[in-house]
């Protein structure tokens, strides 16, 4: 049984640990030490919080080319109401005039997504208290200090470790909706020096490193945060302002006069669809693959992690037991090559471009001989013409292989053209004009379009409708002052 010891202060924590404590008491002692370091009652009685962060993101694994790391610019405002468990995010990616916006609210009972460019408002069941802010608030150590106080019964003491030359004590916990978080607590100050959480790639971690501590209204917070992912630079805060106990009513007000956003499809469960004779689309969440029966074997495109699960689900659905011979790798982004180890284990030959072979080998984590690569230079025809692939370079990636299956007149565009709306065509963008021209230049009659991020298949009519609905550039709403800083 755990006994809360909120009356303890930092001085008594050291004494308690030196004489030994019962199971569960170490967690309480360490949490009390953190509370004392971050302001004691001022932290515990904190009702609302607003964070304005400007930060840069290093797009390691998501860059335009595999041999360079792109830099992205972000402005974020997160408003938290601890008492009613409400949270709001206003988020800007890019630099004027080329920006994109995201506005999400969780009002304590439900989530909302607000599109200020399209002037639409939609309820979104995927937005929760934990996810509403894209977990940006995890970059503030004060939020972590507040979170761990509410998870005493779940917290686990993880021992001591030397971190950057100083003794630290570690404690892990998992709040509702969050991954497990491990805090590194400075043994002398009680401040959080680092937070670690697992990456979806096994054996890799996000590490949040805190520094430049400041005090405001009796509460401590780190003025700077540096995040690494898998040991590589990921994000760094360049400017931060924090407001404790602000008035937050306006942050949770929904805009009036906005239309309804079209309902979205739910892909939380594994689904398999037959698109044409011998052609299947399988996947869940944000990862889908197309599988085409070529007689004695299958051809696949779409390389998200979970490839084996999708392949087995497709074989079961189709009532077949054929091997996977060819795996088309659309591009080098870390999510789209997450299933390369599985493809290698399935014995597939990789269809890719020369610049992406090294990324595939690295992601697979195993030796792959040269004879298991088919390298495409611009345009290629595979399996006696059952598959045609075209290189479609763009600002998204320097090489993007688009797959086309002539017998079914179906294209797989990876993440170039897709929609998760239940009906209607998605909004377009200028790059889709070049996609349409790509098919015309090769005299290919693409009538349907599958993609890696959706189980919905679009049509050529949807493509034309999207091209006729290219929205204007995003503009910051008038009250988003932080957006123009």
Phi-psi region of 463 (alpha: psi -120 to 50; beta: other; left: phi over 0): alpha
For residue 15, pLDDT beyond 60: no
Q: Are 254 and 233 in contact (CB under 8 A)?
A: no
Give the CATH superfamily of 10-260: Lipoprotein localisation LolA/LolB/LppX (2.50.20.10)
Domain residue ranges of the chain, discontinuous segments joined by +: 10-260, 271-467
Judged by phi (left if over 0) then psi (alpha if -120 to 50, else beta), residue 242 lies in: beta
Confidence of residue 16 (pLDDT cuts 50, 70, 90): very low
**Can you give the pLDDT at residue 485?**
56
pLDDT tens by residue, 242-272: 999 999 999 999 999 999 887 889 899 999 9
State residue 5's pLDDT score: 34
pLDDT at 484: 64
CA–CA separation, 465 and 483 (whole Å): 31
For the segment 210-243, what is each residue's pLDDT rounded down to a tens digit?
Answer: 999 999 999 999 999 999 999 999 999 999 999 9
Query: Which residues contact residue 306 at a Cβ distance below 8 angstroms, ignoring those fewer than 6 apart?
Result: 283, 284, 287, 338, 339, 342
Specify whether domain 271-467 bears CATH 3.30.1490.20. Answer: no
Reference 297, options 275, 319, 335, 326; nearest CA is 326
Lowest mean pLDDT among 97-106, 143-152, 269-278: 97-106
- As a whole number, mean pLDDT of residues 94-109 equals 90
pLDDT (0 to 100) of residue 481: 85
Task: Calculate the alpha carbon distances from 396 to 101, 354, 431 in Å.
Answer: 18, 18, 10
Sole residue written with tokens 């959706």: 454
pLDDT of res. 221: 98
C-alpha closest to that of 363 among 331, 388, 318:
331
Q: 97 to each of 76, 138, 429, 475, 482, how far by Cα in Å?
A: 17, 28, 16, 8, 15
- Alpha carbons 432 and 446: distance in angstroms, whole number: 13
Q: Which residues contact 331 (CB under 8 A, 6 or more apart)?
A: 356, 396, 397, 399, 400, 401, 414
Longest dimension (CA), the chain: 80
Note the pLDDT tens digit of each residue in 287-329: 999 999 999 999 999 999 999 999 999 999 999 999 999 999 9
Query: What is the reported pLDDT for 414?
Result: 95
Is pLDDT of 21 > 50? no
Asked if residue 411 has pLDDT above 90, the reply is yes
| Poorest-pLDDT segment among 18-32, 167-181, 448-462 | 18-32
As given in the structure block, the two tokens for residue 398 are 């320097």
Burial class (CB in 10 A: 0-12, 13-18, 19+), 473: exposed
Q: Worst-scoring range by mean pLDDT, 380-384, 397-401, 423-427, 480-484?
A: 480-484
Give the integer Cα–Cα distance in Å for 182 and 143: 14
Q: Is the pLDDT of residue 108 over 50?
A: yes
DSSP secondary structure letters along 248-291: -GGGGPPPSSPEEPPPBPP--S-EEEEEETTEEEEEETTEEEEE
């Amino acid at each position: 049984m755990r006994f809360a010891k909120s009356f303890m202060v930092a001085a008594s924590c050291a004494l308690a640990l030196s004489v030994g404590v019962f199971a569960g008491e170490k967690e309480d002692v360490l949490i009390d030490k953190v509370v004392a370091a971050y302001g004691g009652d001022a932290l515990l009685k904190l009702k609302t919080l607003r964070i304005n962060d400007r930060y840069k993101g290093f797009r390691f694994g998501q860059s335009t080319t595999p041999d360079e790391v792109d830099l992205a610019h972000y402005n974020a405002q997160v408003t938290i109401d601890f008492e009613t468990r409400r949270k709001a995010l206003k988020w800007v990616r890019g630099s004027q005039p080329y920006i994109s916006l995201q506005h999400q609210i969780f009002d304590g009972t439900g989530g909302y997504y607000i599109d200020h460019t399209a002037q639409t408002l939609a309820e979104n069941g995927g937005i929760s208290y934990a996810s509403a802010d894209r977990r940006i608030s995890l970059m503030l150590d004060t939020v972590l200090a507040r979170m761990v106080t509410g998870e005493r019964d779940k917290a686990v003491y993880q021992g001591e470790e030397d971190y950057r030359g100083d003794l630290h004590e570690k404690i892990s916990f998992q709040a509702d909706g969050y991954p497990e978080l491990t805090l590194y607590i400075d043994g002398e100050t009680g401040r959080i020096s680092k937070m670690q959480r697992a990456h979806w790639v096994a054996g890799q971690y996000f590490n949040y490193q805190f520094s430049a501590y400041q005090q405001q209204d009796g509460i401590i917070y780190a003025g700077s945060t540096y995040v690494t992912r898998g040991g590589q630079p990921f994000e760094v805060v360049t400017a931060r302002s924090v407001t404790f106990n602000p008035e937050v009513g306006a942050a949770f007000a929904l805009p009036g006069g906005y239309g309804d956003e079209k309902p979205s499809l739910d892909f939380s469960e594994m689904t398999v669809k037959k698109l044409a004779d011998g052609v299947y689309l399988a996947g869940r969440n944000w990862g889908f693959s197309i599988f085409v029966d070529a007689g004695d074997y299958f051809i696949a495109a779409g390389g998200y992690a979970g490839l084996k699960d999708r392949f087995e689900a497709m074989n079961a659905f189709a009532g077949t037991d054929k091997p996977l011979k060819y795996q088309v790798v659309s591009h080098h982004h870390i999510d789209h090559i997450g299933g390369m180890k599985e493809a290698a284990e399935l014995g597939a030959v990789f269809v890719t471009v020369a610049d992406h072979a090294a990324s595939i080998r690295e992601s697979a984590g195993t030796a792959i001989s040269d004879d298991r690569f088919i390298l495409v230079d611009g345009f290629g025809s595979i399996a006696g013409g059952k598959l045609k692939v075209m290189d479609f370079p763009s600002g998204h990636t320097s090489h993007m292989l688009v797959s086309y299956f002539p017998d079914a007149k179906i294209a797989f565009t990876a993440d170039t053209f897709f929609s998760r709306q239940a009906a209607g065509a998605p909004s377009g963008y200028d790059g889709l004009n070049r996609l349409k021209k790509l098919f015309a230049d090769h005299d290919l009659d693409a009538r349907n379009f599958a993609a890696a991020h959706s189980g919905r298949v679009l049509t050529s009519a949807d493509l034309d409708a999207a091209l006729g609905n290219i929205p204007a550039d995003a503009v910051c709403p008038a009250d988003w002052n932080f957006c123009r800083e």
